[in-house]
């Protein structure tokens, strides 16, 4: 039973805005270490394979958290889960502040992944709970753009602090820790929307699957989802290193800008296309992802920064469109009793694609070099995106999809 009844419209709007800000804060914290990886490498002298392990352990913690505690707030309430996630995130940020070697950094990233996974599922539900009555669909829009906006802000802000502020490996985490303290106060003061109900322990059992009747609609979505999140994983793990090593761009702000160009462009695109039907975006998303990646690869091959930047922007448009296309499609086709399993499946696919190829790229870059690894990785993204075009067009000929717009969400 909801305990939100009687809350005023103004208070509801303020709480909704506060929850949206916490979403951005968590994702900004998650991308903040990306521009610092180059700094850590220089200070601690570790290889690219170690760097990508540090990156991937965050995603595995996040993925496990999504699967295990994703539905817990439906049983114990939003505030307890959010409070626990913020506390764990604060602990991770303290470890970042104290980190003096890869071991502590890895523990901090793992704890951060667990905290982010628990927070994101609960925050997404809280956005729906607190959505103002006069703006229906706003929660779906925020769920689409806030995560990518947070990734962009975190990477760009950290890059600027590393380049222009003192204590580059400490200041950003101190600021984020202060933000988490404020977030904790907000959560403790926000109204609870879910009453306690039985089944909390049973909800911890992971559930992943695609109902048989939805498999034909899901099939064309999976390739573009794989391609987009694999590309995101490459940019967040090795993007700053590519900028520094292959293009000679040693300015740490540029390292953050590399991530921002992809994720920030994706966020703006998702907002701009918010009223478009999800089914109409799949083919252009796949084409833009593949085309933009090819342009970026040509820039890497020829050492042309402008081409690489242009390709990243084009791929970023495809990244944002694919987010709306994939999760908007899932929101449209799934029944009420199918959404949990279908979105759990989507989260698993997205974050496995986000992490596993990036880890492989880290080991490959040590053995074969960063340039060859980036080229092969990029070509794999193009190949992964191509089946989405073929499958979607074949499905459209057999059974035209709905053209009704649907709210989209993003992991």
- Where residue 406 falls among pLDDT bands split at 50, 70, 90? very low
Number of structural domains (the chain) is 1
Q: Which of 330, 97, 362 is nearest to 237 (CA)?
A: 362
Q: What is the pLDDT of residues 37-63, one digit of tens each?
A: 778 888 888 776 777 778 778 878 988
Whether residue 281 has pLDDT greater than 90: no
List CB contacts of 334: < 8 A, sequence separation 6 or more.
211, 214, 342, 343
**How many CB atoms within 10 Å of residue 12?**
18
pLDDT at 128 > cutoff 80: no
Residue 4 lies inside a defined structural domain of this protein: no
Q: Residue 226 has what pLDDT?
A: 87
What is the spatial distance between Cα 93 and Cα 171, in angstroms, rounded to a whole number?
11
Is 236 within a domain? yes
Q: Is the pLDDT of residue 1 over 60?
A: no
Question: Does the residue 75 lie in any domain?
Answer: yes
User: Any idea what the CATH number is for the domain that residue 25 is in?
Assistant: 1.20.1250.20
Q: Report d(CA 273, CA 408) in Å as an integer.
A: 11
Q: pTM for the complete prediction? A: 0.78
Res. 348: pLDDT tops 50: yes
* Phi, psi angles (nearest 5°) of residue 332: -75, -40
In sequence order, what DSSP letters do the residues of 325-354 get, joined into one string?
Answer: HHHHHHHHH--TTTHHHHHHHHHHHHHHHH
Position 210 in a domain: yes
Mean pLDDT of the residues in the chain: 81
Is 80 part of a structural domain of the chain? yes
| 315 in any annotated domain | yes
Higher pLDDT: 376 or 247? It is 376
Q: What is the mean pLDDT of residues 261-288?
A: 86
Task: Tell me the mean pLDDT in the region 364-368.
Answer: 81
pLDDT value at position 386? Answer: 80
Domain presence at residue 91: yes
Could you report the per-residue pLDDT of 291-315, keeping only the tens digit for each? 999 999 998 888 888 898 999 999 9
Structure-model confidence comparison of residues 66 and 316, the more confident one: 316
Question: Alpha-carbon distance 252 to 37, whole Å?
Answer: 10
The mean per-residue pLDDT over the stretch 231-257 comes to 75
Confidence of residue 395 (pLDDT cuts 50, 70, 90): low
CA 164/CA 351 separation, integer angstroms: 32
> Please, how many CA atoms are within 13 Å of residue 185, restricted to the half-sphere of its CB?
5
Domain of 265 in residue numbering reads as: 9-398
């Amino acid at each position: 039973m909801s305990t939100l009844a009687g809350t005023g419209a103004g208070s509801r709007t303020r709480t909704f805005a506060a929850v949206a800000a916490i979403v951005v804060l968590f994702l900004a914290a998650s991308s903040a270490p990306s521009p610092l990886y180059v700094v850590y490498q220089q200070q601690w002298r570790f290889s690219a394979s170690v760097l990508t392990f540090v990156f991937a352990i965050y995603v595995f913690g996040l993925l496990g958290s999504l699967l295990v505690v994703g539905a817990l707030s439906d049983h114990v309430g939003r505030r307890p889960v959010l409070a626990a996630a913020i506390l764990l995130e604060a602990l991770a940020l303290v470890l970042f502040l104290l980190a003096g070697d890869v071991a502590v950094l890895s523990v901090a990233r793992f704890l951060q992944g667990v905290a982010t996974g628990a927070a994101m599922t609960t925050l997404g539900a809280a956005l729906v709970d607190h959505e103002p009555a006069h703006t229906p669909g706003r929660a779906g829009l925020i769920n689409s753009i806030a995560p990518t906006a947070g990734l962009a802000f975190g990477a760009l802000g950290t890059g600027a602090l590393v380049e222009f502020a003192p204590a580059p490996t400490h200041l950003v985490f101190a600021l984020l820790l202060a933000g988490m303290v404020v977030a904790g106060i907000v959560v403790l003061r926000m109204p609870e929307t879910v009453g306690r109900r039985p089944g909390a322990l049973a909800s911890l059992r992971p559930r992943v699957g695609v109902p048989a009747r939805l498999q034909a609609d899901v099939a064309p979505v999976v390739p573009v989802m794989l391609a987009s999140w694999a590309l995101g994983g490459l940019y967040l793990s090795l993007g700053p290193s590519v900028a520094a090593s292959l293009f000679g761009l040693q300015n740490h702000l540029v390292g953050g800008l590399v991530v921002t160009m992809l994720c920030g462009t994706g966020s703006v695109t998702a907002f701009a296309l918010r009223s478009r039907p999800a089914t109409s975006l799949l083919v252009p998303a796949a084409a833009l992802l593949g085309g933009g990646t090819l342009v970026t690869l040509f820039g890497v091959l020829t050492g042309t920064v402008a081409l690489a930047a242009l390709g990243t922007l084009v791929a970023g448009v495809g990244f944002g469109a694919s987010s709306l296309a994939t999760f908007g499609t899932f929101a449209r086709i799934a029944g009420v009793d199918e959404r949990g399993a279908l979105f759990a499946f989507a989260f698993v696919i997205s974050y496995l694609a986000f992490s596993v190829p990036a880890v492989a790229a880290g080991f490959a870059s040590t053995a074969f070099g960063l340039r060859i690894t980036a080229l092969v990785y990029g070509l794999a993204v193009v190949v992964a995106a191509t089946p989405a075009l073929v499958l979607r067009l074949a499905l459209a000929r057999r059974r035209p999809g709905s053209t009704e717009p649907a709210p989209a969400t993003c992991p």
